[in-house]
Amino acid sequence: MKLGKWIGGIMGFMAMGPLGALAGYAIGSLFDKAAYAPENMDAGNETYTGQRNSFLFSLLVMASYIIRADGKIMHSEMEFVRRFLRTNFGEDAVAEGEQILLNLFEQRKRMEATNPYAFQNTIRECGAQIAANMSYEERLQLLSFLAQIARSDGNVCAAEIDALKEVAQSMQLSAKEVESMLNLSGNSLEEAYKVLEVEPTATDDEVRAAYRRLALKHHPDRVATLGEDIRKAAEEKFQSINNAKERIYKARGMK
């Protein structure tokens, strides 16, 4: 399935506003309007398609900001995005998705040539548009993907952390949620506390309450409308949260 097909035609809330403006430049000739033209759409699928397409393009937009946060484009980060596209859309989508990212990088360069803060301001506006149109749980899953991109080279620098927190804030998410996402793959007790968004000094009852909150807001069913592939990614995230909880419970002798 080619990327031009899922991104073309009906795009839900991203058809307008700053996301729509970026789409007009970044997608360009990749549009395949016939693929999702109204006459070719099953009416029952229009809402699903719009939600999914908006989520995925929003991910590419924010990924373009995170990848360039340290001033360079790392092969490992681009390869993570390629794997994501390959897994969800097939081999044909990889080259097109990469081209969209390259177009976004080029647009950033053009915008910053006249105003060094222009692209940053656009990203903040995109975050506000996302916050107004995506559910809290969908925004958390988007942040999770962005954190995975930042972690993909094995080192998350200060500039990437700052960019993640900036993006999170624009989407009305918190710095603690960024820390939680960045520590999901950790194995230490310290990292486990960050995943649960509590301090090591928290009481057992506070730890239990924190886990219940995370389990509720990160439950895979909360993003099921975006597609089975994204739901499976949410399941992996959910398992990482459970693993962090088990490390803390074991260290404290909790049941």
58 found inside a domain: yes
122 found inside a domain: yes
216 found inside a domain: no
Q: Is residue 117 helix, strand or coil?
A: coil
Q: Is residue 22 helix, strand or coil?
A: helix
**Where is pLDDT greater, at 193 or 228?**
193
Give the Å distances, CA to CA, from 65 to 8, 207, 213: 22, 34, 29
User: Does residue 163 have a pLDDT over 80?
Assistant: yes
**pLDDT (average), residues 204-228:** 93
Report pLDDT digits (tens) over 86-113.
887 677 778 888 888 999 999 999 999 9
Instruction: Please tell me the total number of residues recorded for the chain in this structure.
Output: 255
The domain total for the chain is 1
125 found inside a domain: yes
Owning domain of residue 67: 3-134
User: Over the chain, what is the mean pLDDT?
Assistant: 85
233 found inside a domain: no
Tokens encoding 114: 């006249």
189 found inside a domain: no
Give the Å distances, CA to CA, from 152 to 12, 66, 146, 173, 214: 30, 12, 10, 22, 24
Report pLDDT digits (tens) over 38-58.
333 343 444 446 677 788 889
209 found inside a domain: no
Tokens encoding 193: 């506390």
Using a pLDDT cut of 90, give the percent of the chain over it: 60
Q: CA 206 to CA 210: how far, in whole Å?
A: 6
Report pLDDT digits (tens) over 243-253.
999 999 999 99
44 found inside a domain: yes
User: Does residue 37 have a pLDDT over 60?
Assistant: no
